Structure 1
Amino acid sequence: MTDQHAPKPVRHLLGLSGGKDSSALAIYLRDKIPEMEYFFADTGAELPETLEYIDLLEDYLGKPIARLNAAKSFEYYLKLNGNFLPTARTRWCTPELKIRPFEQYVGDDQAITYVGIRADEPHRKGYLSTKPNISARYPFIEDGIKKEDVFEILKSSGLGVPKYYEWRSRSGCYFCFFQRKDEWVGLSEKHPELFEKAKAYEQFHREAGRDHTWSPGEDLEELVARADDIRAKAALQQEKEAARPKKKLLDQFGSDDDLDEGCLVCFK
């Protein structure tokens, strides 16, 4: 007979962004914490490659990944926030589309959330829940797991890295204002329909008398017009990176660790 007055067990939760670190953490902990719950906060503006990778992870983990925000996505919260697009300084997108759905999913349950900050980046900070019933653990820091280990975990699992790493350094919305200019060029080539939607958001703001641009200093029309120059500069930077002593092959997958301003819950 079940004791109705017995305290509920602590929930173990791992949020997946579609990025390399949270994905590797899920693989790393799969057999260590059998009661783990997995969730993915879908912003409604995810790259197709991200959604495809979440499906692959679900198969590998052998458990359902709860999809949050099924009824409310970016467009809903855009209207809720006065039709002002998010920026690096006013990034309402992360609290609304990532943190709040997670907190609603947890409710008042006691929960531990597992975060994919690695041992070689303990300085990283980002948006995490501050609710007293939710605590955080950092298994990669606890176990000394570094960037090269993360790639080995993904490789050994057979999943590898998400396909967007062919042209983009990390996960996040297709219009994320933290992506590099060469990644915007990549979006225009890989997903021209999404690039056009991002341009339409800029036009929407322009018609409202605002000067918002997704990429600092220029709108997307101007950016794509100088795509050759942007690609050339990116290639030159990659050559400089490759020429550094003891540079490892894994570093071709982007310098996301150097971009502390990014939203932790979106990119890990």
Structure 2
Amino acid sequence: MSQKVRHVLGISGGKDSAALAIYMKNNYPELDVEYYTADTGKELKETYQLIKNLELFLGKEIIKLQAFPDSSEDPFDHKLKSLNGFLPNPLNRWCTKSLKLDIFEKFVGNDPVISYVGIRGDENREGYISKKDTIQSIFPFRQNIWSEDIIRLVLDNKNIYRCLAIANEKLSGEKTNRFIEILSRNVNELYTRSDKLLQLLELDTREFNTIVHEFLKHTNYPAGFDTQFPLIDNNEVLVLKDIYNLLETSGVGIPAYYNEIEFTVNGQVATYSRTRSGCYFCFYQQNIEWIWLYEQHPDLFAQAMEYEKDDFTWNQDEPLSELIKPERIEAIKLEYIKRKTRTEKIRRSSKLIDIFSDASEDLGCASCFI
């Protein structure tokens, strides 16, 4: 008898994970997905509102995970105190590890788990892959739903004959011969694994997924535990505009911190917003986002300043007290306008889509911002 596989989906408070929850409910209602969120105690109020909206749409509770549940302090404050005030930074992201990843792995334990991740089809990144072999990541928005470790295994040259045997047994259409031809080729410097993967996906995504799923049945990967895995039939690719559409048409709505707010500096009019979910003091914020926080949530900005002591600052270049001097705010806004104008595309999509396409969203920890 096969082990029961748990299906889980983490809600970060960002647009992509929220849209993925909607997508999974709409398209795979037969899967008993456990929705969860890892709460640091320092999220924006808009994040908590999004979670409430999602619970109404999903018709089920989103499980709230918290590190140090017996502490009287917020998880972030508890951990910070144990580190003597050492703030997280891009080189030491203890906040992500201790407050999100560790409690997620404790939540799933040693159960076989498929974790659904909201990386879009127009993004070129992998996201968090657990080191536990009982946890497998699946990416429903991409043409390639499989994680890099699985692709590396399946398309390894030593597994060519195994893949050919599966293709001969499971495929019967007119594309079978072409599949066999591609699968037979060795990966090398001139014909990379990425080249081979692209050819297989472009030939027929569903049939390639069938080969991978059959391959996984002889491994310890959770997707191979069940005779059927519904996502092997998925050949959709969702990009930014699709995420926006899912949030709007479902009634869940777009997280309010994405709303563009107008500002004026030196006679120039522009707009700004927050581009990410996560803690309000996230060190991955751009300077303009810190100014957004200062002007739109002055109470939270003041709290962020209180964390800065001695050499421990959120920005490695300057403390927040320097960032909000009038001349510095003016310079940051002018530089932001200049950069935005310089990078503006000739063909622009709708305003909301442009908000979402900020390149800064590629920075940061996947478990916080997806």
TM, length-normalised to structure 1 = 0.89
Q: Which residue of 2 aligns with 1:159?
A: 252
Give 2:85's aligned amino acid. Answer: N
The secondary structure found in structure 2 opposite 1:30 is helix
The secondary structure found in structure 2 opposite 1:13 is strand
Structure 2: unaligned runs, 5 residues or longer: 144-235, 260-272
Matched, 1:56 2:53: yes
Kindly indicate whether the alpha-carbon contact (under 8 Å) linking 2:348 and 2:354 is maintained by their aligned counterparts in 1.
Answer: no
Deviation string, structure 1 residues 28-60 (Cα, Å, up to 9, x no partner): 111314411100000111011111111111111
Quick one: distance in 1 between partners of 2:127 and 2:314? 20
Among 201, 217, 233, the alignment partner of 2:335 is 233
Kindly indicate whether the alpha-carbon contact (under 8 Å) linking 2:40 and 2:66 is maintained by their aligned counterparts in 1.
Answer: yes
RMSD, aligned CA: 1.8
Q: Give, in angstroms, the shift of residue 252 of structure 1.
A: 3.0
Q: Percent identity?
A: 45
Deviation string, structure 1 residues 180-215 (Cα, Å, up to 9, x no partner): 11110111122111111111111x3x1xxxx23212
Kindly indicate whether the alpha-carbon contact (under 8 Å) linking 2:86 and 2:312 is maintained by their aligned counterparts in 1.
Answer: no
The secondary structure found in structure 2 opposite 1:139 is coil
Q: Which one is further off, 35-44 or 141-150?
A: 141-150
Tell me the matched-pair count: 255
Q: Give, in angstroms, the shift of residue 124 of structure 1.
A: 1.3
Matched, 1:39 2:36: yes
Q: Which residue of 2 aligns with 1:266?
A: 368
Q: Which one is further off, 50-59 or 231-240?
A: 231-240
Quick one: distance in 2 between partners of 1:259 and 1:7? 39
Matched, 1:246 2:247: no
Deviation string, structure 1 residues 42-96 (Cα, Å, up to 9, x no partner): 0111011111111111111111000000726101111233431100001111011
Quick one: distance in 2 between partners of 1:253 and 1:161? 11
The secondary structure found in structure 1 opposite 2:331 is helix
Matched, 1:198 2:265: no
Quick one: distance in 1 between partners of 2:277 and 2:358? 10
Quick one: distance in 2 between partners of 1:160 and 1:100? 30
The secondary structure found in structure 1 opposite 2:141 is helix
Q: Which residue of 2 aligns with 1:3?
A: none
Q: Which residue of 1 aligns with 2:286?
A: 180
Among 4, 10, 17, the alignment partner of 1:9 is 4
Quick one: distance in 2 between partners of 1:261 and 1:99? 18
Report 1:142-153 matches (<5 A). 142=143, 143-153=236-246
Quick one: distance in 2 between partners of 1:155 and 1:259? 20
Q: Give, in angstroms, the shift of residue 256 of structure 1.
A: 4.8
Quick one: distance in 2 between partners of 1:165 and 1:159? 14
Which consecutive segments of 4 or more residues in structure 1 shift more than 6 A? none
Give 2:348's aligned amino acid. Answer: K
Q: Which one is further off, 49-58 or 76-85?
A: 76-85
The secondary structure found in structure 1 opposite 2:97 is helix
User: Judging changes above 3 Å, is the alpha-carbon distance between structure 1 residues 239 and 221 closer, same or farther for their aligned structure 2 residues?
Assistant: same
Among 214, 219, 236, the alignment partner of 2:314 is 214
Q: Give, in angstroms, the shift of residue 259 of structure 1.
A: 5.0
Q: Which residue of 1 aligns with 2:133?
A: 132
Q: Highest CA radius of gyration, 1 or 2?
A: 2
Give 1:164's aligned amino acid. Answer: Y
TM, length-normalised to structure 2 = 0.65
Q: Give, in angstroms, the shift of residue 104 of structure 1.
A: 0.8
Q: Give, in angstroms, the shift of residue 251 of structure 1.
A: 4.0
Matched, 1:75 2:38: no
Structure 1: unaligned runs, 5 residues or longer: 1-5
Q: Give, in angstroms, the shift of residue 262 of structure 1.
A: 0.8
